[in-house]
Every structure is written in C-alpha cells, then in structure tokens.
Structure 1
Amino acid sequence: MLSKRLIKYFKSLQLKKYRHQERKFIVEGAKGVSEVLASDFMIDFLLTTKAYAELLPTDQLSKIKEIIEVTENELKTVGTFQSNSAALAIVSMKDDINLVFPENKLVLALDDVRDPGNLGTIIRIADWYGIETIICSLESADVYNPKVINSSMGSFARVNVHYKDLKEVFTSTELAIYGALLSGENIYNSKLTNNGILLMGNESQGINSDLEKYITHSLHIPRRGGAESLNVAIATAVILDNFFR
C-alpha cells in the first residue's frame, strides 16, 4: 500500500515546477511503461498491479530502483488516467545533451506549439518518419507533461526533444529551413531534401513573423474544401509524408 507521502510526491510530478525540480516524470499504462522499460531511461519507481508484474521482462528489472505492487484504484489516484490496470513509472529525466544536427536527416522545429496533445502527437509522427531530433521554442509545451507523454504513445523514448531559442539555432546553421506558411509554394510542386529543418508554427498564429526571414523554402498545403485551417499535428504529418515520397 502506498504511503500518503509517496502519493503526494507522485501526484506533484503532474506539475511542471516539481517535475523539473525533481528531474522526474510520469509514464502511465501498459504501452508507455513497456516502451520506457525497453529504452535507456532509468526508472525510480514502478507501481504495478499483480497481473502486470507477472509480465515484466526479467532482463529489464535491473533498471528499476523500486517496484511497488498496487491496486488499480491506487494507480488512478496517483496518475492522470481514468483507468489503468497495468502500471505507472516514475522516470528520471536524462541529462541535457548538446544539440547536434544528424547528418543527411530532416530535423523538426516547433515554434510555440502550446497544446500538450499536439506536441505528443507530433513526437509520435516524427518517430513514424524516422526523425530523431525535434527543436522546440522555449515557449512550447513541456515534453514531460503527462499529456505529451501519453499522446506520444511511447515515441518520446526514441525522439530527442531540445528547447532552444530558435533565432539562435537558425542563425548558426547553414541547413535549408523549410517553413509552413499560407503564402508558401504548393508543396506538391516543391523540390524537397531530407537534409534540412522543417519549421511548424503555433496552433492559432502560425510561425512567428520574426522567424519568417530565416525560412529558405516556404511550403503550403493547398486547400481543396472549406475548412479554415489544419491542426498543426495533421499538417506536420502531411508535409513530412511529402518529404519522404
């Protein structure tokens, strides 16, 4: 049974202030926990039901500092899921690493993407297309927000997310910078290369005007119907698909 002290500590990690103070974050559910177990993240606590504990791979147990058997109701109390019959992990954040642009691979840059669900979905999309590096503006949603982790469906374990001043990043690179703009060239007529940076903008405002001057290739998804706009995660998927055609 969980103590009140541990319950309070685990629940505090739902807030950004305490996540970054403690350098810990929450991963919930069978899918997310199995992904983090298979990664190089270290796990401080694993709260698990008896049924899920029996499925734990023995070769991955060494990375878990403490395993606590709990009930489904306790998992619900500590986490954000309405129901969780498997497990919840308290995971240590990795040390910050220097941003290194992978050779001949596309990098994704996000300007002020605020919605955690959008960020998590974009991470999942990036993982699908083999993109290993995402650069977020300093105002973007926190990658360790439980909603981001949950909506990434485990892809957070394979995609490196950096938080940088995008102006500084763009002024220090010679890579081509593709930007999604309403005034951009029809993406279906554009010549695209995987050796560059794709910049996507804020959900409602798009790309900040101060960053538009760094864009070397502007792209636009032509509209066929009456919708005013596309969700930023969907637009990211459409554009990335064209890069890899």
Structure 2
Amino acid sequence: MISTKWAKLIKSLQLKKYRKAEQQFIVEGEKAVLEVLASGWQVPAVFATERFLQQHAAAIQPAQLVQVCGSDELVKVGTFNSNDAALAVVAMPQWPAFHAKSEQWTLVLDNINDPGNLGTIIRIADWYGIRHILCSPDTADCYNPKVIAAAKGSFLRVQLHYLPLAEQLTNSKLPVYGAYLGGENVHQLQLSRHGGFIVLGNEANGISAELSQCISRKITIPAYGDAESLNVGIAAAIICDNLKRLTASR
C-alpha cells in the first residue's frame, strides 16, 4: 500500500515547481522502471505490484525503498491510465556543464513547449547517438511525466542542458544549422566539417528572432506535397538522419 506521505509526494512531483524543490521525478511502467533501476541512477523508492516484484526481485535491489501496492493505487497516484507494474521516484542527476566538441552533433531546442514533442526528440537523439540537447529556459521541463513517457528510456542516455542559447551559440566556433521552411535542401548539403549545432524552433513560431542571428546556415526539408508543415519531432528525425548519412559518407 502507498502511504499518504508518499502518495502526496508522487502527486506533487507531477508539477515542475515541486520537482525542482525536491530534485526528484517519477518514472512509470514496467520497462521504464526496470531501465532506471539498471542505470545506476539513485532511486529513493519503487512502488510495484506483487507480480512485478516477484518477476524482478533482483532488479529492484538498487531501490532504497520497495513497497507492494495494487495497480489501482499506481493509477490513482500516477499519470498513466493503466499501470499494472511499477512506479519509481527517481533523483535528478547532476550533469556537468556542457562543452561542445568538434566531432559532435548537438540539438538545440528554442522554446519547444509540447512535452510529447520533447520526449520524442530525446528518443530521436538517442537513436542517432546524439548525447547532448541544449534547451532554452522556456522549453518544456525534461522531467515532466509526459516527457519521460514519450522518451521511453532515452532520458537516461541523453543529457539536457537548460541555458541561454544565444550566448552559447555566439561563443562557439562550430557551425549552427537552423531548421526553416526555406533554406538549403537537407538532402543535398555539403558539409565542410563533422559536427555542429542543429537548431529547432517553436512548434508554432519557429526559431526566435534573437536566435536567428546566431544561425550560420539555414536548412530545410523539401516538401513534395501540400502539407503546411511537419511536426518538430518528425523534422528532427529527418534532419538528424540526413546529417548522419552525409557525415558517414565522407
């Protein structure tokens, strides 16, 4: 059974201000909880069904507290409509300060405010081996439960850094590619070097005027039909795939 104290904490961690104060967040579902338990991250508590605990007795050992509960309790305190496995309370990691490397691609998110889109982009970054994402302070919180759910286990392998983007890009010697509706065809880019920054703008308004001044090359995904635009997550995947392909072919 989940105590009133823990239920109150879990509920509070669904809000950014309490996540920030407690420096903790929640992970829900069998696969995600198992991944975080195996990651080496600090896990103060796991609440799980009897079936989950019996099947994964060895895996739950890293958790500081383990309590059995019913699936109805997991649904009541969590954000999933159904959860017959587990919920973990996880301590936020303390990432070192970001330093760009010449052979490294870095995604840059300018006010991406939809949690589902952010989670998808984290998963895409993980797929293409991109280990760092720079986020404007007004980008969605990466520990939002919806972000964690959409990212699957990729949030464990991709480091997100919230910082003033213009300052970071202005001081870098690496190329800065910005995704626009008009620009160089991403299928035909000529790359002078490996690595750089890939800037993706707000879902409705694109890249901000302030950050546009930092863009060294505007790139675009050519349209062959009549759709008005692409979802930012889909655009991120297409751009990453093409840049990786061009890099690999050199």
- Pairwise TM-score range, normalised by the shorter structure: over 0.9
Matched AA of 1:19: R
Separation in 2, partners of 1:196, 1:208: 19
Quote the offset at 1:46 in angstroms. Answer: 0.3
The residue number in structure 2 matching 1:228 is 228
TM-score, with length taken from structure 1: 0.96
User: Structure 1 residues 89 and 208 mapped into 2: Cα distance closer, same or farther (>3 Å)?
Assistant: same
Identity of aligned residues (%): 47
The residue number in structure 1 matching 2:248 is none
User: Structure 1 residues 57 and 200 mapped into 2: Cα distance closer, same or farther (>3 Å)?
Assistant: farther
Residue 55 of structure 2: SS of its match in structure 1?
A: coil
Q: Is the Cα–Cα contact under 8 Å of residues 102 and 194 in structure 2 kept in the other structure?
A: no
Residue 188 of structure 1: SS of its match in structure 2?
A: coil
Separation in 1, partners of 2:27, 2:229: 32
The residue number in structure 1 matching 2:152 is 153
Could you tell me which runs of 5 or more consecutive residues in structure 1 were left unpaired when the two chains were aligned: none
The residue number in structure 1 matching 2:96 is 97
The residue number in structure 1 matching 2:46 is 46
Quote the offset at 1:51 in angstroms. Answer: 0.8
The residue number in structure 1 matching 2:132 is 133
Q: Is the Cα–Cα contact under 8 Å of residues 132 and 160 in structure 1 kept in the other structure?
A: yes
Separation in 1, partners of 2:55, 2:97: 36
1:78 aligns to 2:50 (yes or no): no
Residue 68 of structure 1: SS of its match in structure 2?
A: strand
Separation in 1, partners of 2:172, 2:135: 16
1:238 aligns to 2:232 (yes or no): no
Task: Identify the range of structure 1 (3-12 vs 82-91) with the bigger mean alpha-carbon deviation.
Answer: 3-12
Task: Identify the range of structure 1 (107-116 vs 93-102) with the bigger mean alpha-carbon deviation.
Answer: 93-102
Residue 160 of structure 2: SS of its match in structure 1?
A: strand
The residue number in structure 1 matching 2:25 is 25
Q: Is the Cα–Cα contact under 8 Å of residues 194 and 243 in structure 1 kept in the other structure?
A: no
In the alignment of these two chains, the number of paired residues is 244
Quote the offset at 1:57 in angstroms. Answer: 5.6
The residue number in structure 2 matching 1:172 is 171
The residue number in structure 1 matching 2:198 is 198
The residue number in structure 2 matching 1:181 is 180
* CA deviation profile, 1:149-206 (whole Å, cap 9, x unmatched): 0000110000000001001111221111111012211111212454101011000000
Task: Identify the range of structure 1 (229-238 vs 1-10) with the bigger mean alpha-carbon deviation.
Answer: 1-10
Separation in 1, partners of 2:62, 2:183: 48
Separation in 1, partners of 2:140, 2:40: 23
Residue 9 of structure 2: SS of its match in structure 1?
A: helix
Matched AA of 1:152: A
Q: Is the Cα–Cα contact under 8 Å of residues 43 and 89 in structure 1 kept in the other structure?
A: yes
Residue 152 of structure 2: SS of its match in structure 1?
A: coil
Q: Is the Cα–Cα contact under 8 Å of residues 138 and 163 in structure 1 kept in the other structure?
A: yes
Could you tell me which runs of 5 or more consecutive residues in structure 2 were left unpaired when the two chains were aligned: 246-250
Quote the offset at 1:96 in angstroms. Answer: 4.2
1:212 aligns to 2:209 (yes or no): no
* CA deviation profile, 1:34-83 (whole Å, cap 9, x unmatched): 2211212110100011111122262x544211001110001001110000
Separation in 2, partners of 1:191, 1:55: 52
Q: Is the Cα–Cα contact under 8 Å of residues 2 and 47 in structure 2 kept in the other structure?
A: no
Q: Is the Cα–Cα contact under 8 Å of residues 102 and 174 in structure 2 kept in the other structure?
A: no
TM-score, with length taken from structure 2: 0.94
Task: Identify the range of structure 1 (17-26 vs 93-102) with the bigger mean alpha-carbon deviation.
Answer: 93-102
Separation in 1, partners of 2:76, 2:51: 18
Separation in 2, partners of 1:137, 1:78: 30
Separation in 2, partners of 1:63, 1:137: 33
Q: Is the Cα–Cα contact under 8 Å of residues 118 and 233 in structure 1 kept in the other structure?
A: yes
Matched AA of 2:112: V
